[in-house]
Chains A and B, each alone.
Chain A
Amino acid sequence: MLDRMKRIPYHVVLAPILAVLLAMVVGSGFILTVGESPFAAYRVLLQESFGSMRGFATTLQRATPLMFTGLAVAFAFRAGLFNIGAEGQLYIGAFAAAWVGFTFTNLPKFIHLPFAILASMVGGAIWAAVSGLLKAKFGIHEVINSIMMNYIAYFLTDWLVTGPFQGSTMIPETKRVAASATLSRLMPPTRLTTALYVALLAAAIVYFIMWRTKLGYEIRAVGLNPTAAEYGGISVARITVAAMAISGALAGLAGMEQILGLNNRFIQRFSPDLGFMGVAVALLGKNHPVGIVLAAVLFGALQTGAAAMDRLTSVPRELITILQGVIIFFIAAEYLFSRFLKVKGEA
C-alpha cells in the first residue's frame, strides 16, 4: 500500500489543485466585472458550503450522485472506454429503483430498500452492457452508441411516466415510492441521506476491484494496452462488456439516490445532467476513487454556495458553471502540457 502511494507522481495530486486555484483566479475576473470583491464572493461561497454543519450536509448531499457518476465514468475509463452514456444509465437505474419502490409496497424496509438499490444497479448495468456489446461485437464506438442509448433512455422513461406508470395527477411523474424503500435522512432538515454511505462504500469497492482482483488487473490491462492484453489471454470483448456493465451499475446508483433519497418518485427528465457532470468529476479526480470523492465534494460545494452567492452578492449563480468549465479546461490543458513535456523529454 505504502509503495503504491509513493509511486503516485506528485503532479497527479498537484495538477487538479492547481486547476481549481487557476479557475478561481479566472472567476475573480468575472466577479470584478460585476463590481464585487472576489474575496467577498468566495467567502460567501465557502461560508455557505462548508461554514455550518447544515451547509456541509447540503454540500455532501449534492456531492453524492456525482460520486456515483464520477466513479461510473472513471471505471469505464480505466478499461479505455469513454462512457458518455452515464446519463441514460442513470435514468434507467432510477426508473428501476422507483418501480421497485412503488410496486412492492408490503415488504419490510430491510428487504425493500436493498431490493430497490439492487434494481437500480441492474437497470444501469443492463443499459450500459448493451453499449459494451455494441462496441465489442460490432465495433460501434462507445461514445456514439452510448449517446444514442441516452436518447433511448430519455424517451423510454418519458413514455413510461406519461403512459403506463404515470401517477394519478396530470404531472409527468410516477407514484411515490413506499416509505420502506426510501433512504434515511442523516441530518434533517437537510436532505443528506444514507446514500452517502453507499457512495463511499462504492468508492472503496471500486478501488478494491481495480487494484486487488484479477478482474481489475484485466480491466486496467485492456485500458492501457488492449493488444498486449489480448496477447496475455485476456478477452478484450468480455472485459469491455463487464467494465461497461459495472460502470452502468454505478451510474444507476446515482439515479437511485435521486429517487429514494431526494424526489421519492420518478419525475420526467429530473436529472440536472448528473451523468455528464460525472465526466468532469472523473477528470478532476484523475479517475481514482479518492480523487473522485474529493472532486465530487468540490462540485457539491460550488453548487451549494452558488445559491447563497446569488442571494447575498450581485454575482449571479451562473458563475459556478463558468468555474466548473474553467476547471475542466485547465485539467485538459494539463494533459496537453504533460504530453508536451513528455515529447520534449524523450530522446
Chain B
Amino acid sequence: MATVLEMKGITKQFPGVLANDNISLDVEEGEIHALVGENGSGKSTLMSILYGIYRADAGEIYVRGKKVEITEPRDAINLKIGMVFQHFMLVEPLTVAENIVLGSELRRGPFLDYDQAVREVERLSESYGLKIDPHAKIQDISVGLQQRVEILKALYRGAEILILDEPTAVLTPQEVDDLIEVMRNLRAKGTSIIFITHKIREVLAISDRVTVLRRGKKVGTKPTSETNAQDLAEMMVGREVLLEVKKDKAEPGEEVLQIRNLVVKDRRGALKVNGASLAVRRGEILGIAGVEGNGQTELVEAIAGLIRPESGQILLNDRDITQWSPLRIKQAGLGYVPEDRHRRGLILDYTVAENLILGLHTEAPYKRRFGLQDFRATKDNAAKLVEAFDIRPPFPHQPARKLSGGNQQKVVVAREFDRNPDLLICAQPTRGVDIGAIEFIHRQVVAQRDRGAAVLLVSAELDEILSLSDRIAVMYNGKIVAVMPVEEADEHKLGFLMLGGRLEDYQAGGGNSVAG
C-alpha cells in the first residue's frame, strides 16, 4: 500500500499551550486511521493544520510523496483532502443536492444547473453506497443523513483523504452502524479516512491503525489488531484506568421523585413531553435512554422548575413541586447537573469559587446580614471542593472559562453533589469530558446512590446508561415507552426502542425492523 499522507514533526504553539509538539503521522491509501486522545490532546489542532485552518510553527506535510504548503482550506481541497466537522456547515432550507454543489455549482449560463447537480449526487451516492434523496431539504432529514451530506460534499470536491472529526458524537447507535458501513465502502473504493474520536470501542470496531495523542505529544501508532481497550485507554490517559464502573447491587428504598402524566411544551410552544410518568427511588440510579430531542431536556428542566409544565404532577419527597420556583426546588433537595454546562451550569466569566456557590448564594453561610456576600465562606468552600473533587488547576480565583471541559464539569458536579441532595439529576454528566474525569464522575454518581440519593441519569451515551443504571427507562416522542431492570437491557434492544420500536415487537421479531 502506498502512503498518501505524511505529516512530519508538526509543532504548533498557542499562547500558553503547546498544542502539537513534534507530531508525525502517516496515512496509507485505503486505510482507516483512528486518531484518538482526550480533549486538549491536540487532535483537532493537528487536523486543522492539515486542513489549512491553522499554520504549523514547524513541520512538513507530504501528500502523495510531494511536499506541500497548506495555508488555507482551498489548498487542502485542491490536494483532495476533505474534512467533515462536528458542527455541520449546511444550509438548512436548501436541498441535499444544492448543499452538495454549493460553492462549486454546475452552471447553465448564469443559472444553476439543478438537474445536472441532482444527477451528480445520484452518481456519487450510488458509487459509494451512500443512499440519499437529492431533493430532500436539509432541515427535514436526520442528523445521520446530514452527516452523509457532508461526506458527499467532500467526495464531490474529489476528496481522497477524508477527515472525520468525532463523527459518532451526534449519532444514535443505529446511525453509528450505518456510518461504519459507509466508512467501509469508502475504504473499499480506496479513500483514506482519518477518524478522530475518543471512543475506544469505535476505534477497535473499524480502524486499521490507531495513533494516540496525549497533551500535544504523540504516544504511538499501532495496528488496531495489536491493541485492546485497556491498552488504548492507558495510552490516552497515561495511567491505568478502570473502564468498568464498579458498583454493588442497588438497595432501593421509597420513591423520592414521582412524575405523573407530565406534559411540557418547550419555549417555542412545541409539545415535547407528552404524558410521561416515572418514579425514582432512594438508592437507585434510573437511566433515561433516548435519542436527543425526544423530550429528555424538557422533562428534566420541568423537574428543576425551569419550565412550567402544561399539566401533570411532579412530586419530590411526596410534596407537589410542580409550580415551585427553581430556588425552592433546589432548597427542597434537588441536585442538578445540567446537560449544557456552558449555557446552564456555569457562568464562565465567574471564578471557580463564585461558580461553586451558584444557587447556594442566597443562604448562609454565603449570605450574611444586609444582603452581603461572605467572602471567607465562599473561599473556604472553594478550597474544600477543589481539593475533594480534584479540580485542576487548583486555583479558585481563576475564571471557569480557563478550565478544561472535564474540570469545568467537576466544578458543576462538586457544587451539586456536595450538598448531598435527595434527588440528583445528572444530564449528560460526562459529555465532552475526558476518560480520566469520566471515571471520577462515574464513581461519584455511584457514591451518591450508595449514600441514599435517588439518581436520575439522562445520557446520549448508551454505554454510560448501561454501565451506571440500575433501571433503564426509554424515552421516545415525549413518552416513557419502557422501563426495565438493567439486566434485561442491551444496546440493540434500547436502540430499537429509542427509534420508536415497541417492546412487544422486539420480543417477537428480534428487533430487525422498526415500527412507527
Contacts and interface: CB of A to CB of B under 8 A. Distances in A.
A309 B306 CA distance: 59
Contacts of B306: 230-231
Interface stretch (A221-229, A273-281, A324-332): A221-229
B19 interface: yes
B45 interface: yes
B359 A233 contact: yes
Given A214-B372, A215-B371, A347-B14, A232 B358 contact: yes
Given A7-B397, A225-B343, A228-B344, A347 B45 contact: yes
Contacts of A7: 397
Interface residues of B, number: 34
A347 B327 contact: no
B414 interface: no
Interface in B354-391: 354, 358-359, 361-362, 367, 371-373
Given A212-B372, A213-B371, A221-B350, A232 B343 contact: no
Contacts of B338: 231
Interface string B25-41: 00000000000000010
A88 interface: no
A216 interface: yes
Chain A binding surface, main DSSP class: helix
A231 B48 CA distance: 35
B371 A228 contact: no
B268 to A, nearest CB: 14
B345 interface: yes
A232 B362 CA distance: 10
Contact of B372 (A3, A213, A224, A232): A213
B393 to A, nearest CB: 15
Contacts of A3: 397
A224 B350 CA distance: 8
A216 B373 contact: yes
A11 to B, nearest CB: 13
A306 B345 CA distance: 51
A347 B44 contact: yes
A345 interface: yes
Contacts of B326: 230-233
A216 B361 CA distance: 11
A224 B371 CA distance: 21
Contacts of B78: none
A235 interface: yes
A217 interface: yes
Given A3-B397, A233-B330, A225 B347 contact: yes
Given A3-B397, A225-B348, A231 B359 contact: yes
Contact of B327 (A214, A220, A224, A233): A233
A232 B357 CA distance: 9
Contacts of A230: 306, 326
B110 interface: no
A228 B327 contact: no
A195 to B, nearest CB: 27
Contacts of A234: 327
Contact of A213 (B44, B48, B373): B373
A212 B372 CA distance: 6
Given A213-B372, A215-B371, A232-B359, A224 B15 contact: no
B372 A227 contact: no
Contacts of A232: 326, 358-359, 361
Interface string B319-354: 000000111001000001010000111111110001
Nearest to B17: A347
Contact of A214 (B330, B346, B359, B367): B367
Contacts of A228: 343-347, 358
Contacts of A231: 304, 306, 326, 336, 338, 344-345, 358-359
A171 to B, nearest CB: 46
A5 to B, nearest CB: 12
Given A215-B371, A347-B44, A347-B45, A233 B325 contact: yes
Contact of A221 (B40, B343, B347): B347
13 contacts: A212-B373, A213-B371, A214-B361, A214-B373, A221-B347, A221-B350, A225-B346, A227-B343, A231-B338, A231-B344, A233-B327, A234-B327, A347-B17
Given A225-B346, A230-B306, A231-B338, 6 more contacts: A217-B361, A221-B350, A228-B345, A231-B304, A231-B326, A232-B361
Give 5 nearest A-B pairs by CB, closest first.
A233-B327, A232-B358, A232-B359, A231-B344, A225-B347
